[in-house]
Structure 1
Amino acid sequence: MVAVMTMNWRPATAKDAVFLAELASVVSGRDFSADQASVFLRNWDVEIAEHDAAAVAVHLPTEGRGKGYGAWWVSGGSDRLTEIASRLVQLASATPGLSTLQVARPADEAVGDPRFELAYPLWTMVHDGTTWPRPRTELPAPLRHAQWSDVVPREFQSAYEQAYRDQRVVEPRDVSTWQRSADVSALAVSPDGRVAGFVLGFIEDHGAVELGPIGTVPSWRRRGVSSALLASVLKRCRELRLGPVTLTVDGDSPTGAQDIYLRHGFRITESLVAYQVRL
């Protein structure tokens, strides 16, 4: 049994972010910085086993939402993955109010625990940097374009909860994290100040941009809101010479979001599979 199996959940620290960035770089073959790891770990609890090169993180459900999120990084074989998956289920099962635990794995790697069932494909996408679509950017009346600074936080929170209520992929972020996105965000707002749609962007190291959350409240869907907002954000990124621009999406989203991104010049760079356990 590896050490990570005997530890307890705790808030992540700056030291954890450094370790996780190094471990994620080794496991994925990509470069990750401690700053990137810190952003990811905000509001997550972790178990770290440094000498065994293993880390597990969980994002517990917020009030009124019974879905949790798990992630792990292990420098080792499939047996260790199975042990860590079991640990996630054990901890999730002991968490009051948690009804579903989700994890994501590369498409060619199974979880190895029969309790996890296949849920949906999960795509990482990047804008190609050359295909700059020119769809109509006008919003349907009476909506208007707005920036993050124009919006009352509680109105955004309400829109976010409505837009993601029926989604299988939910961004585990809070308002303090969203405020970092002011420079490359676009929102659709009604005359009474209600948010109808949003595309938030986070500027990362060396000018890279991570998009998300992206959503439209159900009553405004199928009317071009997301397309108009996405076009506005991409235009802003191009003007500021920011890139690459990446996002993560349910590859079989019931709202058809993946098709919007493909039309706007995004391509799939990594295909993951989401698994879930209903507790």
Structure 2
Amino acid sequence: MSRIEYSAEIAELLGKVRRRPTAGWPWRPAERVPDGLPVKQSWGWLFAPDGRVLTLVNPRDGIVSLPGGSLEPEDAGDPASALAREAAEEAQALIGTPHYLGYLYDRVGSANGGHECARVRMAAALRAVGPSAPDPASGRHYRRLLVAPGLAVELLGWGAPGLRQARAAVSAGVRWLGVPAAANETIEELPDEGCEVFPGAVFPGVVHLGGAAAQPGGAQPGAAHSGAVGPGAVNPGAVRPSSVHPGTAHPGASYRGAGATRPGGE
């Protein structure tokens, strides 16, 4: 097993990580959300070109999360729009077109007033990040790490179900984004000033980032990645050609489907 490398600053941050108990929500890979089951959350596996994913750590309480959050009225019921908005708010991130992976069935509905709901998971390219800033909705100021998907699951505390979800995300990343199946295992923090990560078209829906306008055809949220390796620099690896245009969703990307059936339980 290769040695996982990271800086002393990241080691100190990882020492604060506190894993939350797993909720036990069943993972429904590639299944469409049934009609009548409300989607209340959308989280994303956001890939760098070398296969690592954006992982957020709250240094105040040690909680680790993937970018994403609850659907709001402005998302018009679209999990992809919710993911793009939440990634911008939480991580000052711009993303490519999200690809639907599946959903978690929340029978208790902690995000839906005690009623059952779906928690959608998606995969997308991490195009760029702007200057680090607190989430305007929660006030949390996350540290932004690039981490191999398997290690992200460990930090999240998701166990075997999380590994199954990560495998689905990696499979989508390999197929639709051209990332390698075996990710770089170095843990790196994205620079506070922002940088470009995975050049390409930005998913429409985010109209500003770090105070600057973001155009759907490209992103300039901060200093472009220079390719240097060292403190404050990010080296996500060589950009690999995508198997589809970054702004084109793959066939069957919809999260709803006429053939979907209501989950019967765990």
Which bin holds the TM-score, normalised by the shorter protein?
under 0.3
More helix as a share of residues? 1
- With normalisation by structure 2, the TM-score equals 0.24
Normalized against structure 1, the TM-score is what?
0.24
